[in-house]
Structure 1
Amino acid sequence: MKGDRYVVIDVETTGNRPTTSDRVIEVGMTVIEGLEIVDSFSSFVNPNRDIPLFIEQLTGISEEDVENAPTFDEIAPRILQALDGACFVAHHVDFDLSFINAELDRAGYAQFEGELLDTVEMARMLYPTFESYRLQTLSDIFEFSHEQPHRAGSDAYVTAKLLIEMFTKLSALPRETVHRMKPYTEQMCNGLHRIIHEIDVYNFEQADRSLPNDVEIYRGFAIRKRQQHSESTQAASAQSFDAALFFGEEGLLSKTTTNYEERAGQSTMSTAVWKAMNNEEHLLCEAATGTGKTLAYLYPALMKSLEANRPTVIATETIALQQQIVDREIIKLNEALNEDINVAILKGRSHYLCLQKFEHFLDRMPSSYDEHLFAAQLLVWLVETIDGDIEELNLPSGGYTLWEELKSDSYTCSHAGCSYYNRCYYHRAKERAKHAQLIITNHSLLFTDRFSSSGILPKYETVIFDEAHQMEDTAGKYLGYESSYQQLVRLISRFGLQDSEGLLFEIERSLKEKSINRYDVEWVRNRKQELYHLQSEWLQLFQTLQNIANKKPSGTIHYRPSQYEGKFVMEVVERISYMIDTLQKEWLNCIAQLEDQHPEESTLWRKVSQLIDDFTDENETVRQLLVHEVEEHVYWMEAGKTNAFDRLTLYRRPISIASSMQSYFFDEVKSVIMTSATLTVKDSFSFIKNTLGLPKENVNELKVESPFSYAKQAQLLVPSDFPDIKQEEEYIDALSEFISMLTSHVNGKMLVLFTSYDMLKKTYNRVKPQLEDLNYALLAQGVKGEQRTRLVKNFRKYERAILFGTSTFWEGIDLPGEDVRALIIVRLPFTPPNDPVYQAKANELTMRNENSFQKLAIPKAVLRFKQGFGRLIRTKDDRGLVYVLDKRLVEARYGNSFIRSLPEIPHTYTSTDEILSITSDFFEE
């Protein structure tokens, strides 16, 4: 490997069609020999055609730059000389090679057909936890000097530095890892496969090569060793709570935190949390942005844990906040107290890799490219990961489907039969939680632990709900049921109805090898036929339900199971139940015998057992949705945009979670702390108290105002001449025009929050052509299928960009400083009146002669509005404007409820022209 020659090439082009009209406009080349850079070359290339404007803006290469540059055929000899006997390397090698070969062909030279190496592919394999594999991102991570991104010479040089970095990592991997990776690189670039093979041969010639201290070899895998649990120190347990000592101007936190500023609200909140815990009371605490609420509850939570010698459980709704607590706030707490705090993150078991399943996955030899890359990634990851948590990984496109096969489950994780039990990531996580002072988990797992008495968490007496405004939705989902056509189809596909795929193929192969008496190939084929029949009945069920749905004008169709009694729907459900019961009996009888006769295939039999359990669970879910009727629950189906049966989803939710929350939390847990930036409506906690079922006694309330100076940092602007929101087409025209006009006045980033995806998409299509002319990047939720995190990352990297979002973008995204200069709220976020749970709650209020609009619609919309508003000002230095394009905020009687929910902020109701003028003045200050 050290004596090999690698030629790294990057090209800038007029577009992405090498075989038709697009041409190379710049070539960069860097040569590596002996893992050293020995030569670099770059040149503009005259393409003999125009350079599109967007290419000029992206690369900075103009018509003048290439006017007197050599043509490709003039520089081709130098490129060919460098490539002679070398490996062709590029970041996205298919792109660069296709252009080089097209240009060589035009110049009359033979195309390059030697070894190839793609640094994107190699980086994905070696750095499975990186968030992005863009060259600029990798350059930043490794601190390479990359002065001219999107310029061929600079890109080629940085790619060469990256290649050397990756060679170094490959050489340092345990030899067992490299050896196991080798067969999975056969479908990758031939240059990479050859490198892995050479390192593998070299490694086994070095018999005395030692392992890193934190790595062990087990069953042929190189695995990161488990960390030993440290017990609480005497010094830590001797401390007592003192808010002033910790948060004061001369307190512990100030001595370890750069640019520390004392915040009175933080100390007040911390004291209130401690008091509630100490007095075994519950607390509702609305803590505005900038309060520092996370540390405000972490400090008393730790002190209480040490005092009581029991863990405090902290539950968040989002994984991002869990990670933020550990990566930022716990570190601050550690440093301030000069202690090594025992903290454990515990998630649902499906987040954790099952090593026994992974070994089985490798033994059956993955076949597709995605499976090969996935296998190689996980082999590298095993050397590095402590937690074995899927959230650490950036998987290939099919990786998340493959994870379903490898995630931990109760069958494969039994103590008696698992070879990896002592190294199991899920049990490691549970073990860490037993020794932890603070356990950080999510709402969903906490509800599972309480409502099902599963004993996932160790015994605790105090729990803190952060993001507490989400408790109702998450608890409602847990206490309800949901199924879709795709749900059972996915289970059947895991068995595999096609030849040479799925568990049935593995079982058939195993039975052939072992010549097992009764269970032969014919037996497997009979089971396959049963699955075909089951899938056919499932199809018939959802086609029937879809026909019912199509008779209704709305996409949301309410129903009650009793309306199907004695009808065809119920007949199909009963046939499905019978078939799944039969399937279960057949397989369990089979597995009981096979496990005794062939324990070496225990992983395979347990995977089948788990899958059969999943079928049984799905059967129970469907019966709960279509057979069992509970008066206090609401039932509905959603047909999807295409009105196709394979997109139909059935739902059942409790109308209220209050009684369940009271029974399982407020009556059983000594102290429940609930905090969020949005819990009050018109300065009252009444709405959230009624929603969550909080008792009338033993509950404290606290509202902590933000330390930000909103009056100086922000303004609220409402255009008085906008069309009525009900005139949708006219409104979208005005909205599109307003956004386009606003760009030149804001000259920065804008976030636009919609309540309707349909309106978002229509506005996107109208605005996009205009923004391209204005050199503004436009990103939109759902339009191109990008995930929320990817959209936010892309939004951050642009200087001038607009992000369209709905639903989840109203909360949970942190865009401080210049990341958002202007926030547009398209309309007040009222819950759609046909929302099933909302409708059921509203009907109950009406039956009690109460005003559902005042009691339900307005409070829910106000809380949502506050969440959206909170996206603008994230730090004390932020400045920005909020535009609400819904005149009801000012003209409707209830509009004042929304304005009163915000901090003290100047608000103006005037014409669009005047609003644009105010905007210019604001940003010129």
Structure 2
Amino acid sequence: MAQRYAVIDLETTGNSSKKGDRVIQFAGVAIEDGIIVEEFSTFIRPGQDIPVFIEELTGITNEMVKDAPEFQEVASRIVEFLRDSCFVAHNVLFDLSFLQDELIRCGFEGFYGSAIDTVELAKITKPTSDGYKLNQLAKQENLQHDRPHRADSDAYVTALLFLELNKKLAALPLITLKKLHKLSFSLKSDISDLLEELMSEKTAKNEVRCPDLNIFRGIALRKSIHEDGNHHVGISHSYPFDHAKKAALMQTAILHMEYRQQQFKMMDLVYESFHEGRHTIIEAGTGIGKSLGYLVPAAFFAKHHGKTVLISTHTIQLQNQLIHQEIPKLKVMLPFDIHTVLLKGRGNYLSLAKFERALREKDDNYETALAKMQILVWLTETETGDKDELNLTSGGKLFWERIQSGGYIDPELLQPWSSVDYYERATRLAQKADFIITNHAYLASGFLEDERMKPVEGFVILDEAQYLEQAASKYLGSRLDYISVKTLLNRLGTYEQKLLLYKLEKLVRENKLKGLKSITILNEALNNVIYDLDHLFYLLAGIAEKHLSGEGTGRMAIQVKEKPEWRQVTTLVNRMNNQLHYFIKELVERLDALKQKDSLGKNPRFFIGEFEMKVEQLREIELLLKEFFIDPTQSFIYTMSYVKSAPHHGLSLSSQPITAGAALWGTFVASQNSVVMTSAILSAKNSFQFFKTQLGIEDMDIKTRCLPSPFDYSNCVKGLIASDMPDINAVPLDEFVKGAARHIISATKAAHGRVVIIFDSDNILRKTYQYVKDLGELEEFTMLAQGITGGSKLRMLRNFQSFEKALLFGKTSLWEGIEIPRDNLSCLVFVGLPFSPPDEPATEAKCLLIAKQGKNPFLEYLLPEAIFRVRQGFDQLVRSRHGKGVLLLLDPRISTAGYGKEFMEAIPGLKWEEVSLHTLERKIEEWSYL
């Protein structure tokens, strides 16, 4: 590192020097030849009060800077420190631009040397990092960071981080560095200079190739997993039916292991189910140790009988939890080796053939160039090619859609990469594995359709089985939204825009193809489709706004045949589809004619493959529009979701079978030798009937068992019922909202944060959140609200966990696929019993179907579903034997309605008490300190 690097950090009174904000602390760390050679830091008197927020964030007070020099007094020292240096900072754009403005304001020349952003550098060198904040990266690199948001500490840690990231770059092979260098000119900081220096050093030293890497067609790849041998080998180790033997096994992997009788019972149930070839439903209460409860017996069965056991769970996150946390424990305790393969949908894997072609393209925007650089580095690390290892930007995720496995690609272009193809390797390994770990979404779609996986079917564990119906709905249903359709049409572009359609026409002309329609006619058809698309979604938004009451978002049924206002929509869809059909037909004729040309090179053939994928997407749109508005299927529900803040841009159409679970899983379960379905919550009203009906397995011979939690709920959770909450059906909505808000404020103060509030109505959620916020009594708390404060559900929950004093307003779907770690939730509030709104399209359709069968929809569906949701929330509240939590119900119906007793009895051992708003705070405090 011959270059001198000046690593800088500033603390300021705000974000903009131009708006009068000033520096309150400057810190710099100089690096020469890879060593820290100089440090300089100083407080700076800003000439204005430091805002309270900045004081709390940095710990820098007005008292601390009152005798410090002003900026102009230290400016010359700063200029000297920066001389002949490359400016380095974490989020360099902020520090550099702010410092430039301050230097110029004080009559000095600004800094005009090269600059490197350690955020950008970290994204490239650490493409699998969970996050790129300084504190996150410092933790990952084991760098001590005692005083975050103080310039001296931040600058020093950034300097150490920069040195670590530079080492990672230096460890890359020369061939990867060259490709990175070529792409680096699209970046925002001058990382190209750093790469150039490293390339020169490697060339001079005559680089020794890393034994863990293969250079394949000019791309450095991590060597693949060894694939020899068949892991289906019978073993002499018998399953340990004796509980003492189970305990001895588990003690080898788990320190201070608790003897859990129910966990051992679960192990026996799973083993017997597989051995006897029968189906079993097991409700394994919180704290049993469910994962090992099925993994241990499944391992013994797989090895002893030479079978593959398929394990499916709800989400990719839970898949990863099994692979990275539970399977390693299992391997330590077993007296034999177990081979596990993680298998996901094809689109989760990188197509190296497509990526190779994408690297040759030169029209990179910033996010595409960054994604390519991240992937090049990642390929030297990954053995799976699984995108979930990567942390891509939103633009990077769009780029991934172009390079993911699947879709059409010319076999001749694919063939050179077949030996190292990630998806093909995963399926080969799966065929030899003892365990295949997958997720419900892939099981519902790709896995069942892949003939190569048929031999491994037969013995199955479905964990988090309550989400199987949801997975079936997504697979069997469809979705269409304005943004995705418009994005596809924009990517094609008219001929004048010189995008994909232009490139196709250029190929047609270069190959002198005859007998095709004029490009002018294609242009006109595309423009007509775009015009009709805009008109259609504006029309749909008008219908939605007219029919959906309340604020924010809503969902309504598409009723083309029942309502006259839909006739205009039908006419428009017919016209749009005619234009779309014609446009597709003309594109296909061009593509087919080009494919007949033997003289086409590799690049044109690759382009044709990509374009054919776009044509398939257009065909799908044509079919969906027809299904939604012209020829709907009787057994499906068709709905329209509307966002008032983005009337047509935020509008989406979706479909799902009325009985999605029964349409898929009944057939699946019947076709297997043995299926074990498990979760912490599968029963309602002391019965599995609700769950079995959802999956269409109510008439099958299935063994069922409830294994209660080892926790004493009466000592873990206090159940409180607000006795003075108004009935939502008996008072104006605003009065109900005010009552809910007052109870939420009292509960939050008493619990000192970590409060989650669940709503079954978007409208009530929004109104309550706003009312609590406007009252201003919880200003010391961080308030998060699903669908309001922004970000994904997962991101919002991470934010919730990172603040000691936080409250989260969420919908009934909040828990789906999410587990809040123990001690991160103190109080759970249900604002109203969580019944599905009867006028919600899917609920209405299911209730009508149940009524047609001569049954009571409330007793058969609405009530058990609501009880199920309360139990699901309660499960999040109870995470340890010694925790203390509060479950608060803001609904008088639990005490007054005949069915209220069923909610109270749904959680055995939980003691309920009625409280008024006046006594609520005291009751929670008394319970918390018991």
2:634 matched to which residue of 1?
631
Give CA-to-partner distance per residue, 1:147-193, whole Å, 9 cap, x none.
11111110000000000001111111111111001122113245322
Pick one of 861, 864, 868 that aligns with 1:856.
861
Query: Which sits farther off after the overlay, 230-239 or 730-739?
Result: 230-239
SS in 1 for 2:677: strand
Alignment of 1:79-98 (within 5 A): 79-98=78-97
Are the equivalent residues in 1 in contact too, given 2:231–2:434 (CA < 8 A)? no
> Is 1:263 paired with 2:271?
no
Are the equivalent residues in 1 in contact too, given 2:345–2:446 (CA < 8 A)? no
Are the equivalent residues in 1 in contact too, given 2:492–2:500 (CA < 8 A)? yes
> Is 1:213 paired with 2:211?
yes
- Using a 3 Å threshold, how does the CA distance of structure 1 residues 334 and 580 change in structure 2: closer, same or farther? farther
Query: Which sits farther off after the overlay, 432-441 or 574-583?
Result: 574-583
SS in 1 for 2:882: coil
Are the equivalent residues in 2 in contact too, given 1:740–1:770 (CA < 8 A)? no
> Is 1:358 paired with 2:346?
no
Cα distance in 2 for residues equivalent to 1:240 and 1:524? 72
Q: Give, in angstroms, the shift of residue 412 of structure 1.
A: 2.4
Are the equivalent residues in 2 in contact too, given 1:481–1:624 (CA < 8 A)? no
1:229 matched to which residue of 2?
227
Are the equivalent residues in 1 in contact too, given 2:711–2:881 (CA < 8 A)? yes
Pick one of 273, 283, 297 that aligns with 1:286.
283
Structure 2 unaligned runs (5+)?
none
Are the equivalent residues in 1 in contact too, given 2:782–2:807 (CA < 8 A)? yes
Are the equivalent residues in 1 in contact too, given 2:526–2:583 (CA < 8 A)? no
Cα distance in 2 for residues equivalent to 1:419 and 1:378? 20
2:833 matched to which residue of 1?
828
Alignment of 1:580-599 (within 5 A): 581-583=584-586, 585-594=588-597, 597-599=600-602
- Using a 3 Å threshold, how does the CA distance of structure 1 residues 180 and 444 change in structure 2: closer, same or farther? same
1:793 matched to which residue of 2?
798
Cα distance in 2 for residues equivalent to 1:545 and 1:91? 46
SS in 2 for 1:483: strand
Pick one of 404, 421, 425 that aligns with 2:422.
425
Pick one of 874, 888, 892 that aligns with 1:869.
874
- Using a 3 Å threshold, how does the CA distance of structure 1 residues 845 and 164 change in structure 2: closer, same or farther? same
- Using a 3 Å threshold, how does the CA distance of structure 1 residues 503 and 8 change in structure 2: closer, same or farther? same
Q: Give, in angstroms, the shift of residue 231 of structure 1.
A: 3.9
Residue type of the alignment partner of 1:226: S
2:823 matched to which residue of 1?
818
Residue type of the alignment partner of 1:248: K
2:3 matched to which residue of 1?
4
- Using a 3 Å threshold, how does the CA distance of structure 1 residues 738 and 894 change in structure 2: closer, same or farther? same
2:25 matched to which residue of 1?
26
Cα distance in 2 for residues equivalent to 1:219 and 1:907? 68
Cα distance in 2 for residues equivalent to 1:102 and 1:592? 58
Query: Which sits farther off after the overlay, 562-571 or 313-322?
Result: 562-571
1:532 matched to which residue of 2?
527
Query: Which sits farther off after the overlay, 627-636 or 46-55?
Result: 627-636
Pick one of 809, 825, 846 that aligns with 1:841.
846
Cα distance in 2 for residues equivalent to 1:761 and 1:411? 45
- Using a 3 Å threshold, how does the CA distance of structure 1 residues 233 and 311 change in structure 2: closer, same or farther? closer
Pick one of 899, 903, 920 that aligns with 1:898.
903
1:915 matched to which residue of 2?
920
Cα distance in 2 for residues equivalent to 1:421 and 1:82? 54
Alignment of 1:268-347 (within 5 A): 268-347=265-344
Alignment of 1:342-741 (within 5 A): 342-412=339-409, 414=411, 417-449=414-446, 452=449, 455=452, 458-497=455-494, 502-507=499-504, 515-518=510-513, 527-546=522-541, 549=544, 552=547, 555-559=554-558, 568-569=571-572, 571-572=574-575, 575-576=578-579, 578-579=581-582, 581-583=584-586, 585-594=588-597, 597-641=600-644, 644-657=647-660, 660-661=663-664, 664-726=667-729, 727-741=732-746
How does the TM-score come out when normalised to structure 1?
0.94
SS in 1 for 2:834: coil
- Using a 3 Å threshold, how does the CA distance of structure 1 residues 634 and 782 change in structure 2: closer, same or farther? closer
2:16 matched to which residue of 1?
17
Cα distance in 1 for residues equivalent to 2:805 and 2:598? 62
- Using a 3 Å threshold, how does the CA distance of structure 1 residues 663 and 825 change in structure 2: closer, same or farther? closer
Query: Which sits farther off after the overlay, 647-656 or 913-922?
Result: 647-656
Query: Which sits farther off after the overlay, 23-32 or 443-452?
Result: 443-452
Cα distance in 2 for residues equivalent to 1:832 and 1:498? 49
Query: Which sits farther off after the overlay, 217-226 or 416-425?
Result: 416-425
Cα distance in 2 for residues equivalent to 1:55 and 1:549? 44
Give CA-to-partner distance per residue, 1:562-581, whole Å, 9 cap, x none.
56899625633651563255
Cα distance in 2 for residues equivalent to 1:594 and 1:809? 54
Give CA-to-partner distance per residue, 1:823-873, whole Å, 9 cap, x none.
222222111112222212211232344321111110111111211121212
Q: Give, in angstroms, the shift of residue 729 of structure 1.
A: 1.6
Residue type of the alignment partner of 1:799: E
Residue type of the alignment partner of 1:81: E
Cα distance in 1 for residues equivalent to 2:401 and 2:141? 33
How does the TM-score come out when normalised to structure 2?
0.93
1:143 matched to which residue of 2?
142
Are the equivalent residues in 1 in contact too, given 2:4–2:85 (CA < 8 A)? yes
Are the equivalent residues in 2 in contact too, given 1:511–1:521 (CA < 8 A)? no
Are the equivalent residues in 1 in contact too, given 2:723–2:892 (CA < 8 A)? yes
- Using a 3 Å threshold, how does the CA distance of structure 1 residues 842 and 547 change in structure 2: closer, same or farther? same
Are the equivalent residues in 1 in contact too, given 2:280–2:676 (CA < 8 A)? yes
- Using a 3 Å threshold, how does the CA distance of structure 1 residues 562 and 581 change in structure 2: closer, same or farther? farther
Give CA-to-partner distance per residue, 1:671-691, whole Å, 9 cap, x none.
121111221111111111122
Cα distance in 2 for residues equivalent to 1:635 and 1:813? 27
Q: Give, in angstroms, the shift of residue 194 of structure 1.
A: 0.8
Q: Give, in angstroms, the shift of residue 907 of structure 1.
A: 1.5
SS in 1 for 2:644: coil
Give CA-to-partner distance per residue, 1:429-463, whole Å, 9 cap, x none.
21121111111111122122576565556531112
Are the equivalent residues in 1 in contact too, given 2:350–2:387 (CA < 8 A)? yes
Q: Give, in angstroms, the shift of residue 233 of structure 1.
A: 5.9
- Using a 3 Å threshold, how does the CA distance of structure 1 residues 595 and 533 change in structure 2: closer, same or farther? farther
Residue type of the alignment partner of 1:421: S
SS in 1 for 2:456: coil
Cα distance in 2 for residues equivalent to 1:99 and 1:401? 32
Q: Give, in angstroms, the shift of residue 331 of structure 1.
A: 0.7
SS in 2 for 1:383: coil
Pick one of 758, 766, 772 that aligns with 1:767.
772
Cα distance in 1 for residues equivalent to 2:518 and 2:216? 36
Root-mean-square deviation (CA, aligned residues, Å) is 2.7
> Is 1:883 paired with 2:883?
no
> Is 1:777 paired with 2:782?
yes
Cα distance in 2 for residues equivalent to 1:890 and 1:675? 32
SS in 2 for 1:675: strand
Are the equivalent residues in 2 in contact too, given 1:816–1:878 (CA < 8 A)? no
Q: Give, in angstroms, the shift of residue 236 of structure 1.
A: 6.7
- Using a 3 Å threshold, how does the CA distance of structure 1 residues 663 and 588 change in structure 2: closer, same or farther? farther
- Using a 3 Å threshold, how does the CA distance of structure 1 residues 510 and 204 change in structure 2: closer, same or farther? farther
- Using a 3 Å threshold, how does the CA distance of structure 1 residues 545 and 825 change in structure 2: closer, same or farther? closer
Query: Which sits farther off after the overlay, 810-819 or 128-137?
Result: 810-819
Cα distance in 1 for residues equivalent to 2:108 and 2:602? 61
Q: Give, in angstroms, the shift of residue 17 of structure 1.
A: 1.8
